[in-house]
Structure 1
Amino acid sequence: MTATAKKRILIIEDDRHIAEGIELNLSLQGHEVKVAQNGIEGLEAWKQWCPHLIVLDLMLPGIDGMQILQNIRLEDERLPVLILSAKVDAADRVDGFLVGVDDYMTKPFSLEEFLLRVGRLLTRDQWQREQDDTLKTPEQKQNVYRFGANTVDFSSGQAECCAGTIQLTEQEIKLLKLFIVNKGKPLSRSRLLEIGWGYNKGTSTRTVDNYIVRFRRYFEEQPKKPKYFKSRRSLGYVFDHDPIQ
């Protein structure tokens, strides 16, 4: 079996004609293809179907493509994502690459070029995963993160911390990963809600504050004097820690 033979490819695209055309051509190349026509369906399909590659439109009903990409990158930093969008401004491309897209094509597009890019992404991804499996340390393979006296095993969802042994919920894991990815950077409540929960901007809730209280209770020696999960007036929250020696 070659590197690009029969892979699962998820298309998140609300234009039915474009989605059907892509689906047909990828299927003819031997791939298994699924189509989601809005952001919510797309996120559900990604979680349940575990595709090898995602073709993603940016302007989607419900949750937009950028929010989908941000959600994906919290759990999988390597899954190939190709944005296929009518947005042609350089700023949109830059935003996509900053969040973690692997490739970006604008509509209208060349089908031949699209298929070549898909093949390249699938081949590169398989090669990188083989290399990573060879080079990773045992700790990296176990997906373990340490800060201070705390150890979080993301594979099992279990944390050994100041509060003892904790079984983290799926949402706690997602939010914790978001803080780790943005280590040292303030994150506003609205930003955390937008990425972590898929809320629209402007949503008012104390949900984030409640999770911060939990994290402080889990991971801080003195929850009322936090060392890792700090508040920043008018900015939100920031997670930071010294390098592990």
Structure 2
Amino acid sequence: METVLIVEDSRAMQRTLRRLFESDGLQVRLASDGVAGLESFKKDTPSVVVLDLKLPRLPGKEVCRALKAYAASVPIVVLSANTEVEDKVLLLELGADDYVTKPFSPKELLARVRRAMRRGEPTTPHGTTVAPETPQHELLAFGDIRIDFTSMEAARAGKPIILTTQEFKLLKFFARSPGRVISREELLNEVWGYTNYPTTRTVDNYILRLRQKLEPDPANPRYFMTMHGSGYKFARDSVVTAPEK
């Protein structure tokens, strides 16, 4: 059964969220502080995490960072009363998959949690989930980098690299359009789901992080190229497709 881990210190909110998710057929686990949330996550990895920001013992932002470092593929939906754009951008940069502002519509929260859970699932053209018994791995190789988008694993010269969910999404979007110049606006829309474009360096910060993790010399990038005044491109001659048979 699909499981949602709710990390929330308010007992009243815990009860509300439990009723909401159980009514939709999800199994619910509760944690009342950041440390307990991390321990529960590591003991039995859930399908999705609903994470409040203001937590005792360990702040929600630090919990988000730690969860993504431990298992980048598990989606995290953040709850917060803060409506500031900068705060939302920071959470997305830490690896959160979505951000819901309190007070929220229960139907909207449930829809967003379900959407976050579906993002990693392979689907058919008709939208039905593909059976997981024999997954067709989607692989990417360039230089000494090897990426498996299906298992969300990355390695450099055979050594594992930790990439966040959002870094995988950005890299996958680039890999599907090698050599094409992609604007910041398109990346914000397609990778982050923004419908408007506040002044933000989200894309630039993510490109910097990909360079630091994947480029031989981050100061002189070969693969993630800046096209001044236009955006970025993933160098066409860097891509070697290697689908698993």
Structure 2-normalised TM-score? 0.56
Structure 1 spans left out of the alignment, 5+ residues: 1-5, 155-175, 183-237
Structure 2 spans left out of the alignment, 5+ residues: 124-128, 168-211, 223-237, 239-245
Structure with the higher helix share, 1 or 2: 1
User: Which residue of the partner structure matches residue 122 of structure 1?
Assistant: 117
1:91: Cα distance to partner?
1.3
Q: Partners of 2:162 and 2:137 in 1: how far apart? A: 24
User: Which residue of the partner structure matches residue 27 of structure 1?
Assistant: 22
User: Which residue of the partner structure matches residue 60 of structure 2?
Assistant: 65
1:124: Cα distance to partner?
2.1
Match of 1:110 among 105, 115, 120: 105
SS at structure 1 position matched to 2:119: helix
Sort the Cα spacing of 1:113 and 1:146 in 2 relative to 1 into closer, same or farther, 3 A: closer
SS at structure 2 position matched to 1:83: strand
Percent sequence identity over aligned pairs: 28
Letter in 2 for 1:68: V
> Is residue 2:71 matched to residue 1:76?
yes
1:239: Cα distance to partner?
8.2
> Is residue 2:39 matched to residue 1:36?
no
> Is residue 2:216 matched to residue 1:242?
yes
1:240: Cα distance to partner?
8.7
Sort the Cα spacing of 1:124 and 1:242 in 2 relative to 1 into closer, same or farther, 3 A: closer
1:112: Cα distance to partner?
1.2
Structure 1-normalised TM-score? 0.56
SS at structure 2 position matched to 1:126: coil
> Is residue 2:93 matched to residue 1:98?
yes
Q: Deviations over 1:88-132 (max 9, x none)?
A: 211111111111111111111111111111122222222389798
> Is residue 2:5 matched to residue 1:10?
yes
Aligned residues: 158
Larger Rg: 1
Q: Partners of 1:240 and 1:118 in 2: how far apart? A: 30
User: Which residue of the partner structure matches residue 217 of structure 1?
Assistant: none
Match of 1:146 among 140, 147, 156: 156
User: Which residue of the partner structure matches residue 134 of structure 1?
Assistant: 137
Sort the Cα spacing of 1:89 and 1:136 in 2 relative to 1 into closer, same or farther, 3 A: same
SS at structure 2 position matched to 1:125: coil
Q: Deviations over 1:10-45 (max 9, x none)?
A: 000011111111111211111111010000000011
Q: Partners of 2:69 and 2:147 in 1: how far apart? A: 16
Q: Partners of 2:11 and 2:81 in 1: how far apart? A: 15
